[in-house]
Structure 1
Amino acid sequence: MKSARGESLGEVSVESGGLAGDRAWACVDDADQTIGSAKHPRRWGGLLEVTAAGVPATIEVGGSRYAAGSPEADKALGEHLGRPVRLTRTVPAQPRIHRLLPDDPGMVPDWLAELRPGQERLEESGGYARTGRFVDFGAVHLVTTGALAELAERVGRPVAADRFRPNLVITADADPEPGAELRIGDVVLRVLFRTPRCVVPGLGQTGLPADPAVLRTLARHYRVRVFGDGKAACFGVYADVLQPGHLKLGTPVTPA
């Protein structure tokens, strides 16, 4: 479920739209039909305390587990978030999310330069049209152990990969370059571009306290040009699936 805590898997099928089951569900606000995203923590930060797992999908709220799509799940989520919501696998007619820009100016992408740090924004959510999932853009999001180690050195302490909510953590010295093709077993991925970051990596979430230093470090050291539209603070990369297949933990990653 979008913005919920996921699960660690030893193996998983990879489909053309991404990992099987990944972000197949989203929470929708009954009042304005916007898609729930922790990019606006005052409205949706509570989703980071919800766990989603399994196929068929279940969610865990406040220590109780419910079947995704059931009235009981919607009721529990609504009570947790403090307003009526529903879980859905179907994108609303106007797929929109609320975003709160980080307070650090370096975290505001150049293509949003007309907005001030800390400003709220209602924007289209285009990932569903590309992948059939409630993702921001790419079918797969990955980070590398080398990039995490470099970030930890700059922050001054370890930074959990979970803060970036990746699908895959790859053992490598650095993130692959845009355009690179990676083979992982029988799965082939093509790297699209570096992942622009929002407020989420600095937020407190299940098992992780809030850490504004992560965002400050991204703003100062990780601002790079993204697909010709200016610079943004980026970490990790988005990729599309060229060849579906099956992944197992520990499978070597090689150039395709």
Structure 2
Amino acid sequence: MTAATLTGITYYPVKGCAGTALTEAALTAGGLPHDRTWAIADEKGDPRWQGGDPALALITPERNQDGLTLRAPGRDPVRADDPDVHAWLTDFLGAPSTLVPSPDGNAGRLHLVSRATLDALNRRITARGAAPVPMDRFRPNLVVDGWTVAHTEDGAARLLVGDAELARTEDTIRCAVTLVDQRTGRREGPEPLRTLADYRRTAGGVAFGAYFEVRRAGRVSVGDAVVPGPDS
């Protein structure tokens, strides 16, 4: 496996909503701090997701020392601890919604996708006359560039990044969220699932990218080398 570079770090404070790009982060056993620690629940208490509510992509959570603030087009921002936050969400999404602690968070997982993997997919998509899809369709936590072979992350048992060591745990199985344009909050489709189904079917579904856990906590930064760990 050739060495590569970490080119993107993103966390998602509210599950299903827009992400926040970072230049550096301290990885812990729980993954990226504050990643998916909140969720938006429907009237039954089930978490909303972009597959059913694509407008979630337009809600931008912002964390700072004062807490969490939500922003959305055409709306005044609202703080997470504001009693009106639930009415704000309900009005924007057009259905009863409440901001709640996420029941499972990110389960300590980091979702990693390489640029080579996306480029290989987009070559197949454009070959059938469709438009390429951007990386944000897959909502990764970590983006790696520099590997010359697509899906290198599939076989990376261990990775050393900055001060941290990561261990691969499983494939990332893709769903209808990948059909949502993260900039417009509208479901597009049928790409990328149509093309992925041609060549990335597994027993669990259509796979693209991989999940990793943090084996050794440490700080990582955009620009850090990504190199094989002792078992790769």
Normalised by the size of structure 2, how large is the TM-score? 0.81
> Is this contact kept in 1: 2:58–2:185, CA < 8 A?
no
1:28 to 34, 41, 44: 41
Corresponding position: 1:153 with 2:126:
no
* Number of residue pairs matched by the alignment: 205
Q: Which runs of 5+ in 2 are unaligned?
A: 1-13
The structure carrying a bigger strand percent of its residues is 2
Identify the residue that residue 6 of structure 2 maps to in structure 1.
none
Paired residue secondary structure (1:236): strand
Cα displacement string for residues 116-154 of structure 1 (whole angstroms, at most 9, x for unaligned residues)? xxxxxxxxxxxx2xxxx1x3x661001001001101100
Identify the residue that residue 77 of structure 1 maps to in structure 2.
89
Tell me the CA shift for residue 53 of structure 1.
2.7
Q: 5 Å matches for 1:46-195?
A: 46-55=55-64, 56-63=67-74, 64-89=76-101, 91=103, 128=104, 133=105, 135=106, 139-156=109-126, 157-171=131-145, 172-173=147-148, 174=150, 175-178=152-155, 180-195=157-172
Cα displacement string for residues 173-203 of structure 1 (whole angstroms, at most 9, x for unaligned residues)? 3332356111101111111121110011112
**How far, CA to CA, are the matches of 2:173 and 2:108 in structure 1?**
12
Tell me the CA shift for residue 90 of structure 1.
5.2
**How far, CA to CA, are the matches of 1:54 and 1:169 in structure 2?**
22
**How far, CA to CA, are the matches of 2:215 and 2:138 in structure 1?**
23
Corresponding position: 1:235 with 2:208:
yes
**How far, CA to CA, are the matches of 1:141 and 1:252 in structure 2?**
17
Cα displacement string for residues 41-80 of structure 1 (whole angstroms, at most 9, x for unaligned residues)? 2xx2221221123243222122432222422322211101
Instruction: Name the aligned partner's letter for residue 68 of structure 2.
Output: A
Q: Which runs of 4+ in 1 moved over 6 A?
A: none
Corresponding position: 1:213 with 2:191:
yes
**How far, CA to CA, are the matches of 1:28 and 1:6 in structure 2?**
18
* Higher relative contact order, chain-length normalized (CA < 8 Å, sep 6+): 2
Paired residue secondary structure (2:153): coil
Instruction: Name the aligned partner's letter for residue 48 of structure 2.
Output: G
> Is this contact kept in 2: 1:6–1:53, CA < 8 A?
no
Normalised by the size of structure 1, how large is the TM-score? 0.74
Q: Which runs of 5+ in 1 are unaligned?
A: 92-127, 225-229
Identify the residue that residue 95 of structure 1 maps to in structure 2.
none
**How far, CA to CA, are the matches of 1:71 and 1:6 in structure 2?**
24
> Is this contact kept in 2: 1:178–1:193, CA < 8 A?
no
